[in-house]
Amino acid sequence: MAIKYGISDRRSGKVGDLVFSITSNGNVVKERVIKVNDAKSIGQVEQRSKLANGVKALKNIRPKFLKCCFEDRKKGSSFSNSFIQENILGKHVFPFFKKYTDDPNIMGIGNFTLSKGSLNPIPVSTFMLNNINYYGIKLKDDTPADANATVGNVSTALTELYPTVFKAGYYVNSIGVYNTGVSYKADDEDPIQLANVYNVKTTYANFIIKNNDATKVKDKGFFVMKDKDNHVYLTLAVDKKTFNVNSAAIKTQNVLGYCGFLVATKNGSKVIVSTANANITDGLQSLITHIEQHPVQTADGWLSTVMKVLIVLSYGVKKTIEIIRDWPI
């Protein structure tokens, strides 16, 4: 019960979730957020959130793509398990607000390892055109940079520039994952902006390196373009019908997304691959940086260091604790 003093509307005590107190700075009201500690440590809370985001990323990328992406998986372990273990133990997955982690239309949050193997990794570069940065693989500058570029043109450029990475018969694989209608915003309380409609998009593309293949590279889901300095790059297209760069390969944007490029081939019955890490958008990088600065989360928001101490001290004890936030009135 709150006690009111005189006609000034100064109060002291509790009313519902509000706590009134009188201080030297005047009357202060505090929001009393009730949490019941059910013997779950901060580490467990974080781990559950990371696992949920890792599983979401697995669904976003899809097991069909990942099934040949981890060479040295343990006997009896699935490629899905290899992906989860590699990314959680490797600290590539991040905890996030529970309401967003539980939303299937928001992508898994992390800077993921997409494949791990013994082949040399593809050198992915950033390049600029019209003040926009993209991710791609640099080709020879005389490679056709239009809708008529062929698999043969690209194959020749790749094998000549990177003979230890690209070889005849290798598969060049690319994946793009991005969130439509979801973007980063610099707000400590809620760091993403949601449109009325939002969902996760996943795009795949691949081709076999053949110097005499006359197939248009755009028909394989790739885009060849020149940057502002007339250097030529191979990147991921929107799809096989539209000759535009995929949003997952556009670095300079607040949209959450990432792309990856890897090579694969067979050695007997075994598929061997290159290691590929996600190339992430500026929006996803900003969100990850934000999470790293606010390392623990609950359904209601980020926990501060002081709040961590309160919960750790009550670990194992079935008791109610109060987390309060002050507003002067």
Q: Does 242 reside within a domain?
A: yes
Number of domains making up the chain: 2
| Domain span including residue 260 | 42-297
Q: Does 109 reside within a domain?
A: yes
Q: Does 302 reside within a domain?
A: no
> Are residues 134 and 79 part of one domain?
yes
> Are residues 284 and 218 part of one domain?
yes
> Are residues 261 and 174 part of one domain?
yes
- Rg of the Cα trace of the chain? 25
pLDDT digit string, tens, across residues 59-86: 999 988 888 898 877 666 778 888 988 9
In this structure, of 98-112, 175-189, 231-245, 298-312, the range with the lowest mean pLDDT score is 298-312
Tokens in use for 186?
A: 């610099």
Task: Pick from 31-35, 121-125, 318-322 the range whose average pLDDT is largest.
Answer: 121-125
pTM of the model: 0.78
> Are residues 150 and 70 part of one domain?
yes
> Are residues 107 and 29 part of one domain?
no
> Are residues 52 and 156 part of one domain?
yes
Q: Does 137 reside within a domain?
A: yes
pLDDT digit string, tens, across residues 87-120: 988 889 988 888 888 899 999 999 999 999 999 9
> Are residues 52 and 12 part of one domain?
no
Taking the C-alpha atoms of residue 128 and residue 130, their distance in angstroms, rounded to an integer, is 7
> Are residues 290 and 178 part of one domain?
yes
CB 50 within 8 A of CB 42: no
C-alpha distances out from residue 185 to 96, 194, 238, 256, 323, Å: 15, 10, 25, 11, 25
Dihedrals phi, psi of 214, to nearest 5 degrees: -90, 5
Q: Does 305 reside within a domain?
A: no
Question: Is 80 exceeded by the pLDDT of residue 229?
Answer: yes
**So what's the pLDDT on residue 130?**
93
